[in-house]
Amino acid sequence: MEFAVEDKDSLKTAVVTLGLVYNEGQRRFRGYGQDTQRCDDAITVPNSKAAYEIGVVAKSQGGYDLLWDNYNGGKDYGEEGQGLCDFVGQDGKRLYDEYNAAFLTKQYEMDGYTVSRSNEQDGRIVMEAYR
């Protein structure tokens, strides 16, 4: 999953919208085979020992990288329950869309707009901004 994350608050909003948990200060995240890697914060699936996690790493030039493993739908092989990809999408598309919606909403509201949102059956997010 590769996309620009510039605003941590918008990322946190997207995470909550998807039913995930943002863990500020969690220094390691889990991937395939209980392998862990270093991170600054992590995103987790609540109440799941099978689902992999997303590592959030601050970039030196600003912004954040998201690191994760989508092997087997983002969960340990043979485990029951939902994997990470059930929440963020196989390629992170749901997380990407929710992050962009949260980021745009924040920007428009700072400029004095009111933003409304609807979710279409095909997964699209439709937003309208008005004064």
pLDDT digits (tens, 9 = 90+) for 19-34: 999 999 999 999 887 6
Say what the pLDDT of residue 76 is: 82
Percent of the chain with pLDDT over 90: 74
Distance CA 119, CA 117 (A): 7
Q: Look up residue 125 and give its amino acid.
A: I
What pTM, to 2 d.p., does this model score?
0.91
Say what the pLDDT of residue 81 is: 81
Cβ atoms within 10 A of the Cβ of 7, count?
16
Find the Cα–Cα–Cα–Cα dihedral 2, 7, 8, 9, rounded to 10°. -130
Average pLDDT of the chain to the nearest whole number: 92
pLDDT digits (tens, 9 = 90+) for 103-119: 999 999 999 999 999 99
| Residue 2 reports pLDDT greater than 70 | no
Q: How is the chain split into domains, by residue range?
A: 8-130
| Residue 78 reports pLDDT greater than 80 | no
Written as one string, the DSSP assignment of 77-125 is TT--S--HHHHH-TTSHHHHHHHHHHHHHHHHHHTT-EEEEEE-TTS-E
Say what the pLDDT of residue 30 is: 92
